[in-house]
Amino acid sequence: MPHRKTALRLAAPVAVLALALTACGGGDDESDTGADAKSPATAEASPSPSEAASGGDLAEGESATGKVAEDPGEVTFDVVAQKVDVGTEAEAAKTVADAADAKGKVLATAYLKYTHKSGPALTEGSDVHDGATVFADGQRGGVLIGASEDAAGCEDPYDVESWKQGESHVFCETYVIPAGASSVEVHWSEEDGDPYIWKFAQK
């Protein structure tokens, strides 16, 4: 199974604003909307993230469990959004291809830790990060291709050549969001599933 973002990644310069403002991010499930996060199916609390089959809100540090169809077969992962680093408008203007696209915007880099729980070992990268997106004040940001690869503490999912059960990796996603957002959300979902949501309040 080819990696869904490989072509975009190889074709992109160091960092190119792929989709601006609140457009859907490239390669991610377009069913993730603000309404999904508040639907009746996801509002009911459950004893543990692994039992919340429809996704739902999670506390900081709390992990979700989901299955991903990887190249060698289906793999179960534990996923947790560790943090979100929000930059400045000046940094955004220097990073995107057209500085005008960054007016009133900042970059938000989400750090997600993925732990291989069960399934075959991965030898040629992973698609688990494709389910991750970033929202600000309920609106989806614009994905910034290539920006996360140089962030400290972030790994490139396509460089993972040996991933066995029990091992973890941190992959990052960088999105363009409105400056001054009061809340930033990190969403992750299985394919065709409702998202798990971690909320990070902004000062």
Phi, psi of 9 (to 5 degrees): -65, -45
At 5, the pLDDT band (50, 70, 90 cuts) reads very low
Residue 54 lies in a domain: no
Write down the number of H helices and E strands in the chain. Answer: 4, 11
Is the sign of the CA dihedral 28, 29, 33, 37 positive or negative?
negative
Residue 95, token pair as written in the block = 């990073």
Model-level pTM?
0.74
Number of compact structural domains in the chain: 1
Residue 152 lies in a domain: yes
Residue 144, token pair as written in the block = 């910034």
pLDDT at 47: 40
Residue 44 lies in a domain: no
If one compares 160 and 177, the residue with the highest pLDDT of the two is 177
Residue 16, token pair as written in the block = 């190119």
Cα(103)–Cα(105) distance, rounded to whole angstroms? 5
Report the candidate in 79, 130, 141 with the shortest Cα–Cα distance to residue 106: 141
Residue 55, token pair as written in the block = 């996704």
How do residues 87-134 score in pLDDT, each as one tens digit? 999 999 988 888 888 899 999 999 999 999 999 999 888 999 999 999
Residue 67 lies in a domain: yes
Residue 45 lies in a domain: no
Per the CB < 8 A criterion, the answer to whether 94 and 52 are in contact is no
Residue 12 sits in which domain range?
Answer: 6-35+61-201
CATH code of the domain containing 82 = 2.60.40.1240
User: Considering the chain, what percentage of its residues have pLDDT values greater than 70?
Assistant: 72
Residue 48 lies in a domain: no
pLDDT at 54: 62
If one compares 158 and 187, the residue with the highest pLDDT of the two is 187
Whole-angstrom CA distances from 183 to 64, 90, 138, 197, 203 are 20, 20, 8, 12, 9
How do residues 61-77 score in pLDDT, each as one tens digit? 999 999 999 989 999 99
Residue 50 lies in a domain: no
Residue 17 lies in a domain: yes
Cα(89)–Cα(15) distance, rounded to whole angstroms? 15
